[in-house]
Amino acid sequence: MIKLIQSGAPLSLGQRLKLTASLSWPAIMAQLSSILMQYIDAAMVGRLGASDSAAVGLVSTSLWLFWGTCSAATMGFSVQVAHRVGAADYSMARSILRQGITSSIVIGAVVALIGMAIAHPLPIWLGGDETINSKASLYFMVFVAALPVLTLNYLGCAVMRASGNMKVPGGLNVMMCVLDVVFNFLLIFPARQIDVGAVHLTVPGAGLGVLGAALGTVAAELVCAALALWYVTCRQRDLAIFGRRASDQGSFRPRRKVMRNALKVSAPMSLEHAVICGAQIMVTVIVAPLGVMAIAANSFAVTAEALCYMPGYGLADAATTLTGQSYGAGRPALARQFGYLTVTLGMIVMTLMGAVLWVFAPAVMELFSPVEEICRLGSEALRIEAWAEPMFAASIVAYGVMVGVGDTVVPAVMNFSSIWLVRLPIAALLAPTMGLAGVWTAMCIELCFRGAIFLWRLLSGAWLRHGLDTSGEPGPQPDPNV
């Protein structure tokens, strides 16, 4: 079906739906496995007690800042690969991949060093209690130390998705989820005896607690990172730069135009992510004075809500690939059609997921913690958030659509302006009187506002006029249908 985009042949609604579904389902399953991994981590740590849960929750938003910065940096290369694949210029796509590998190693190392330098004072800056600060620092340190390898994983999976291969990244995410369960099971809890009828089994365990949770997840991610990098460089059709499938040789040295285009895409995304995560960290600061129970409930509710927006991010991945390849093939009209289609599907699916979340919020929270107060606070937060899911979908998928063509500056400004100018002031106003419910009410209001402004930009078509400049390269030609 991807060949239809490259050929310039018109695509019917049925063909667009089929192509969207074929790319979305593996991406959604990949997101689901990632969310399940977060559920597993949260549920296992939750069994250790409220203080351990609070230690993880305290630094979780800071970890998102560091992970997301590295992930956003790789998008500048994967978007260009999508454009080159759409133009059937595979030699240039492989060149971009090589340059992306070099850049990812450097970026991951720099971000990791920054993270390790602030790991000790970070929980103190966030207002954490003395009883949880040391565990929070250790948890954070383990994750950021692995960022150079994890950044290569982000690049490998993003480039495969950009080329239309959603199945391998999806399979790797499922494998990561399984490995995470196994490693966490062995590392978090001490050795124990399990009675199965008359049979007594001794289950090995390291008993490392919060440290075991970090080591288990990082180990699972490192295994999958190695496999992702191997597959994209040695096995991925038309992109392999090593092994039997490699069809040319080239330099890994970054080139000016590729880096300039990568910077145009990644710099706004990285800045946006940093500002948004900074706002999420401020939310943590607002929640921290509400007590350990509120910190733990907020952390678990954030993880639980991910089940709702998982389909949205899966559709966003597909939208980035479809609009990117259509744009690279010189077909902006088709890119617009895919944009409208994916956003509509995302809003429908996430509306249904929001309804499910509202009904089953108490049961979901009980998966994470046996503490009644944590479950009560978390359930209340989730039922508030469920009302925002349709518009949250609009912002998630529309952002993926715009990233596909390389339009990231204005969407980035829209994202961080919304959270800083709407969510934070309202949260600070409501938290003293409404507690955690006030923080999540502010989040609901802000997500509805953000969805509305992204729908406005999508319908205006301005995002198509601010894509990457591909002049002087083979590929995009004027679309006769525009």
Q: pLDDT (tens digit, 9 = 90+) per residue, 219-265?
A: 998 999 999 999 999 999 888 888 766 656 778 998 998 999 888 88
Higher pLDDT, 266 or 274: 266
Residue with the bigger pLDDT between 142 and 300: it is: 142
Q: Which of 227-236, 286-295, 408-417, 473-482 has the lowest mean pLDDT?
A: 473-482
Tokens found for residue 360: 């089953």
Instruction: DSSP for 354-408, please give it.
Output: HHHHHHHHHHHHHHH-S-HHHHHHHHHHHHHHGGGHHHHHHHHHHHHHHHHHT--
**Which H/E stretch holds residue 18?**
helix 13-46
Of 95-99, 117-121, 183-187, least confident by mean pLDDT is 183-187
- pLDDT bucket at 10, cuts 50 / 70 / 90: confident
pLDDT category of residue 62 using cuts at 50, 70 and 90:
confident
Q: Residue range 461-481: average pLDDT?
A: 60
Q: Are strands 190-196 and 199-206 parallel, antiparallel or unpaired?
A: antiparallel
Which pLDDT belongs to residue 116? Answer: 95
Structure tokens that stand for 465 in this block? 């006029």
Which tens digits make up the pLDDT trace of 380-409? Answer: 999 999 999 999 999 999 999 998 888 888
- How far is 39 from 48, CA to CA, in rounded Å? 15
The proportion of the chain whose per-residue pLDDT surpasses 70, expressed as a percent, equals 89
Asked whether the CA dihedral 450, 452, 454, 457 is positive or negative, the reply is negative
Percent of the chain past pLDDT 90, that is, above it, reads 32
pLDDT of the residue at 206: 82
pTM equals: 0.74
pLDDT tens for residues 319-330? 988 898 888 888
Whether residue 472 is predicted with pLDDT greater than 60 in this model: the reply is no
CA distance 321 to 401: 8
Cα–Cα dist 479/482, whole Å: 6
Burial call 278-293: b when 16+ CB within 10 Å, e when fewer: bbbbbbbebbbebbbb
Which tens digit of pLDDT belongs to each residue from 331-381?
A: 888 899 999 999 999 999 999 999 998 999 998 888 777 788 888 998 999
CA–CA dist 313, 304 (Å, integer): 15
Identity of residue 41: D
Q: What residues contact residue 474 under an 8 Å CB cut-off, 6+ apart? A: 87, 89, 92
Percent composition of the chain: helix, strand, coil (DSSP 3-state, to 5): 80, 5, 15
Q: What pLDDT is attached to residue 399? A: 93
Query: Using CA atoms, how far apart are residues 331 and 372, in angstroms rounded to an integer?
Result: 55
CB atoms within 10 A of CB 153: 27
| E strands, 74-127, in order | none
- Report pLDDT for 479: 38
With a cut of 60, say whether residue 430 has pLDDT above it. yes
The pLDDT score that the predictor gives to residue 147 is: 92
> What is the chain's alpha carbon radius of gyration, rounded to the nearest angstrom?
22
Identify whether the C-beta of residue 59 lies closer than 8 Å to the C-beta of residue 140.
Answer: yes
Q: Which residue has the tokens 């970090």?
A: 214
pLDDT the model gives residue 340? 94
The whole-number pLDDT of residue 478 equals: 38
Cβ neighbours of 113 (radius 10 Å)? 13
Please check the confidence at residue 32 and state whether its pLDDT lies above 90.
Answer: no
Assign 476 a pLDDT band (cuts: 50, 70, 90). very low
